[in-house]
Amino acid sequence: MSSSLVKMAILFVSFLIMFPRSNAQLSTTFYDCTCSNVSSVVRGVVERAAQNDVRIGAKLIRLHFHDCFVDGCDGSLLLDDADGIESEKGALPNAGSVDGFEVVDEIKTALENVCPGVVSCADILAISSQILVSLAGGPTWQVQLGRRDSRTANRAGVIAALPNAQETLEQITEKFNNVGLDSTDLVALSGAHTFGRARCATFSHRLYNFSGSGNPDPSLDTTYLETLRQTCPQGGSNDNTLNNLDRSSPDDFDNDYFTNLQNKQGLLQTDQELFSTSGANTVGIVNRFADSQSDFFDSFAQSMINMGNIRPLTGNNGEIRLDCKRVN
């Protein structure tokens, strides 16, 4: 071996020693030696929570989604206001929209009792999302683990990063692209709206004066429109009334959501635009998932893995919070 190659090899080894795991990748076996029962502990807590709150699956997967889109999957959304920290919880579109924090705290307490200082809050969101989707009849997948928790939040970045219910398909697609997700990820992850609820305030603009036209959204089925108008009368008096995101099987994880879109019965503007935007590449994906639940499940599982890989903190970056609401 030439002297130059020997020098390069020495430099490379030295770099690895100086910066161990600085580019560490997530792994499905990350806790095998440090907290081998992590999944069973999380499952025990969320199964009890699901008995008391049929919406807990939708709530925790929403927390995971909203966390990952703002500076990566780092648990920053879970932080409360504190010195030097302005919580993301109160920023639109999180305010009044995200919930389930108390269950995350219960999971963290249970894990600290058996594996103190080991499992991150960011990983709790990923693990609980998978378990709860499966409990609702959806797919299972091998969750990539090894995320660490941030020591700060980014309230100012929430609006720019997170999709909101009144944006166009082009705007939503751009936000997904900004975090490395494509149109298949967009449609598959939107399929999480196969369970859960939404407030009248998030879609009432479609019912009466869509885009200032004085008329309802033309992409909304007229019979469905009248049903929604009964629940959400004009004037905003029922803004906080909850409506099923999937009218046919609201608490099951299945592909009915996509059939609803084909029938012009998507509740949110951003849902219906996946199918009703002429020429959009999302239309074919909606049709594919409506035709095959197994295709949707496979794609959803992969898209959850893709989302969970958005800029995680690993190695020596961040910390393992002892309390998900505050930094150590």
Rounded Cα distance, 60 and 124, in Å: 10
Q: Global pTM?
A: 0.91
Residue 20: the pLDDT is 36
Mean pLDDT of 113-140: 98
pLDDT in tens, 146-167: 999 999 999 999 999 999 999 9
Residues 320 and 222 sit within 8 Å (Cβ to Cβ): no
pLDDT band at 205 (very low <50, low <70, confident <90, very high): very high
How far apart are the two ends of the chain, measured CA to CA in Å?
A: 49
Q: What one-letter code names the amino acid at 102? A: E
Side-chain-facing half-sphere of 209: CA atoms under 13 Å: 6
pLDDT band at 11 (very low <50, low <70, confident <90, very high): very low
Asked if the model's pLDDT at residue 55 lies above 70, the reply is yes
Asked if the model's pLDDT at residue 143 lies above 90, the reply is yes
What is the DSSP code string of 49-92? Answer: HHHH-TTHHHHHHHHHHHHHTTTSSSSGGGPPPBTTB--STTST
Asked if the model's pLDDT at residue 14 lies above 60, the reply is no
Binding residue positions for heme b: 193
pLDDT band at 16 (very low <50, low <70, confident <90, very high): very low
The hierarchical CATH code for the domain 169-306 is 1.10.420.10
pLDDT band at 10 (very low <50, low <70, confident <90, very high): very low
Residues 201 and 95 sit within 8 Å (Cβ to Cβ): no
Mean pLDDT of 256-285: 97
Residue 120: the pLDDT is 98
Mean pLDDT taken over the chain: 92
Residue 92: the pLDDT is 87
Mean pLDDT of 37-53: 97
Binding residue positions for substrate: 163
% the chain with pLDDT above 90: 89
pLDDT in tens, 82-99: 999 999 999 988 998 899
Is the Cα dihedral 239, 99, 317, 142 positive or negative? negative
Residue 66 appears among annotated catalytic residues: yes
Rounded Cα distance, 130 and 138, in Å: 9
pLDDT band at 251 (very low <50, low <70, confident <90, very high): very high
Side-chain-facing half-sphere of 192: CA atoms under 13 Å: 25
Q: Could you say which of 59, 66, 147, 155 is catalytic?
A: 66
Residue 25: the pLDDT is 85
Asked if the model's pLDDT at residue 53 lies above 50, the reply is yes
Residue 24: the pLDDT is 52
Asked if the model's pLDDT at residue 8 lies above 50, the reply is no
Pick the CATH number of 24-161 from 3.20.20.100, 1.20.120.450, 1.10.275.10, 1.10.520.10: 1.10.520.10
Helical H runs in 162-268?
169-178, 183-190, 222-231, 256-262
Domain-wise residue ranges, the chain? 24-161, 169-306
Asked if the model's pLDDT at residue 21 lies above 80, the reply is no
